[in-house]
Structure 1
Amino acid sequence: MTPTLQDMAWHRSAGQLIEHLDKTDFWRSLSRLIGEYVPVDTWAVLLFSDGRPFAFAESPYQGEGPDPLFHDYIRGLYLLDPFYIANREQPATGLYRLADVAPERFKETEYYERYFTHYVEQDEVQYNVKLDEARSVCLSLGTRQLFTPEQISLLEMIRPWVVGLMRQRMFFESAMAESVPRQAPRWQDNLEEAMVRLGTPLTARELDVIRLILSGCSNKEVASKLSISAETVKVHRRHVYAKLNIKSPQELFSLFLKAQVETQ
């Protein structure tokens, strides 16, 4: 079969990227190459572990200083990121769509309204490369429009190239990657400590329920993840609201953000 001009252009560009594996602009070059075939408005390269993600690179910010939304993500909002949650629950190498990992009520969450629609905007896919049992490097691609089935197919078609390049790049990011603990304190430990300082101590199970509710899980999904009944989830939720003296998910999200600030 005769290769098309598009095939030849891709192989030529991928070959050039291999030559740039040790260059500081590698991640930007990789994202730009993908963007030549599928529209990409935002991108970020993150190392996921049991602790706070480490950012290797991100799309340029148009304002002054660091991007405040991305800073908020690294500081604590990542705990509500469906990609982060899915990666920590079952880390694996591959291409993942938002529709594959988002819980039922994701688009009803404060995280979606306050962060996702402003930083990622409309849709997101992620290339994951599992490095070991505790860490994965992830290339997140966001867009202002929903990815079409054809675009997803194209992203899947180039997946072996992208995953291979990401894995090889880690040889040049090894110093940074090794500085990230393979086993960090559980997110519950930090949040529980912050809640105590805020005068609102919660149990470990209540903290689990909080995170899942804020990430957009329905009572049924929370029950499934925690191996409890949906009625028990409702009881935990009532107890949390009573302890925190709140009445809405919006108030719960605000306290969550405050707790993250308290852990800094």
Structure 2
Amino acid sequence: NDLVRLDTLDALKRPLEDYLGRTFRSQTITIIRYSREGPPVTLQAYIPDTALSRLFAAEYHRIGYMLDPFCIMAFGPDEFTAHQLREIAPDRFETSEYHAHYYARTGLIDELGATLRLGADAALHLSLGRTRGNGRFRANEVKYFRQVSPIVLNRLRAVTHPPRRMPELHSAPDLIDRYQTIFGNGANALSRREAEIAALIVQGHSSRAAGLCLGISDQTVKVHRRNIYKKLRISSQNELFSLLVESMKGD
């Protein structure tokens, strides 16, 4: 394959877009470098739709990545992962505030994503998206993506490591830390467990799913949820999401 012989990211970009777009009939192609220490860096973004491109540029690196199931998966136990979005999305993803405020606005109806760990604190992510009117990815396409994506990501690792000079990354607390520090250290500050549950709720997990993630009962999750809402003086997931957005305005 000609892609294997190309030895710089710039040389790879156009052939990679042509190959992936033709093979998977995807309307968007993005390659992102995630970091535990701060917001992600976009290495490549093929997003022909102007409105979608602007939304991605304005919102994903500010807040979207912290709620993206693929970003969360990138720092899980597996060095390499490849999934269709619905395989890893929280059980109430489509009714979550993240979905309403960001994902639904992208116009994407399906997504294939693969991640490859770069040491302990970074990962490469390849995403292929389908927009409304183009149908979801078929089973044979998902299967082929799982076969070809490790080849693509390993090639990208080869041409970006050592990484080219990246824009300076400013420290960005993760989602749990955000919720734990929203009200500082006073009486209304969330405990670590409450912050973990707040993060799962805003991602779109039900009480049952959050309980399974944390190894506690759904009733315990509900008790924590009531305490969270009381401390933060809110009554809905919408307000929980809004607090997250407000906390980031000064970043």
Structure-1-length-normalised TM-score: 0.81
| TM-aligned CA distance change 1:29 to 1:67, over 3 Å | farther
Aligned to 2:117: 130
Q: Which whole-Å deviations, capped at 9, do the CAs of 1:20-48 have from their partners, x for residues lacking one?
A: 33152523431331111111112221112
| TM-aligned CA distance change 1:200 to 1:67, over 3 Å | farther
Flag structure 2 segments of 5+ consecutive residues without an equivalent.
none
Cα shift at 1:158: 2.3
Aligned to 2:146: 156
Identity of aligned residues (%): 27
Whether 1:34 and 2:24 are equivalent positions in the alignment is no
Flag structure 1 segments of 5+ consecutive residues without an equivalent.
1-10
Cα shift at 1:184: 7.4
Aligned to 1:210: 198
Identify which of 239, 250, 257 aligns with 2:227.
239
Cα shift at 1:209: 0.7
Q: Distance in 2 between matches of 1:234 and 1:246?
A: 15
Q: Distance in 2 between matches of 1:25 and 1:107?
A: 37
Q: What is the RMSD of the two structures over their aligned residues, measured on CA atoms? A: 2.9
Whether 1:103 and 2:78 are equivalent positions in the alignment is no
The AA in structure 2 aligned to 1:241 is: Y
Question: Which secondary structure state, in structure 1, belongs to the residue aligned with residue 24 of structure 2?
Answer: coil
Question: Which secondary structure state, in structure 1, belongs to the residue aligned with residue 166 of structure 2?
Answer: helix
| TM-aligned CA distance change 1:23 to 1:160, over 3 Å | closer
Q: Distance in 1 between matches of 2:27 and 2:128?
A: 8
| TM-aligned CA distance change 1:189 to 1:154, over 3 Å | closer
Q: Distance in 2 between matches of 1:29 and 1:120?
A: 25
Instruction: Judge which range, 153-162 or 250-259, deviates more.
Output: 153-162
Is the Cα contact below 8 Å between 1:246 and 1:252 reproduced in 2? yes
Q: Distance in 2 between matches of 1:216 and 1:22?
A: 38
Higher strand share: 2
Question: Which secondary structure state, in structure 2, belongs to the residue aligned with residue 176 of structure 1?
Answer: coil
Identify which of 82, 87, 93 aligns with 2:80.
93
| TM-aligned CA distance change 1:206 to 1:230, over 3 Å | same
Identify which of 137, 147, 151 aligns with 2:137.
147
Question: Which secondary structure state, in structure 2, belongs to the residue aligned with residue 37 of structure 1?
Answer: helix
Cα shift at 1:137: 0.5
Q: Distance in 1 between matches of 2:234 and 2:150?
A: 48
| TM-aligned CA distance change 1:239 to 1:61, over 3 Å | farther
Cα shift at 1:229: 2.0
After TM superposition, the runs of 4+ consecutive aligned structure 1 residues lying more than 6 A away are none
Q: Distance in 2 between matches of 1:40 and 1:141?
A: 6
Count of residue pairs the alignment pairs up? 246
Larger Rg: 1
Structure-2-length-normalised TM-score: 0.84
Cα shift at 1:216: 1.3
The AA in structure 1 aligned to 2:180 is: E
| TM-aligned CA distance change 1:191 to 1:75, over 3 Å | farther
Aligned to 1:254: 242
Question: Which secondary structure state, in structure 1, belongs to the residue aligned with residue 177 of structure 2?
Answer: helix
Question: Which secondary structure state, in structure 2, belongs to the residue aligned with residue 201 of structure 1?
Answer: coil
Cα shift at 1:88: 2.1
Cα shift at 1:83: 1.1
| TM-aligned CA distance change 1:203 to 1:23, over 3 Å | closer
Q: Distance in 2 between matches of 1:194 and 1:32?
A: 44
Cα shift at 1:170: 1.9
Aligned to 1:166: 156
Whether 1:227 and 2:215 are equivalent positions in the alignment is yes
| TM-aligned CA distance change 1:28 to 1:126, over 3 Å | farther
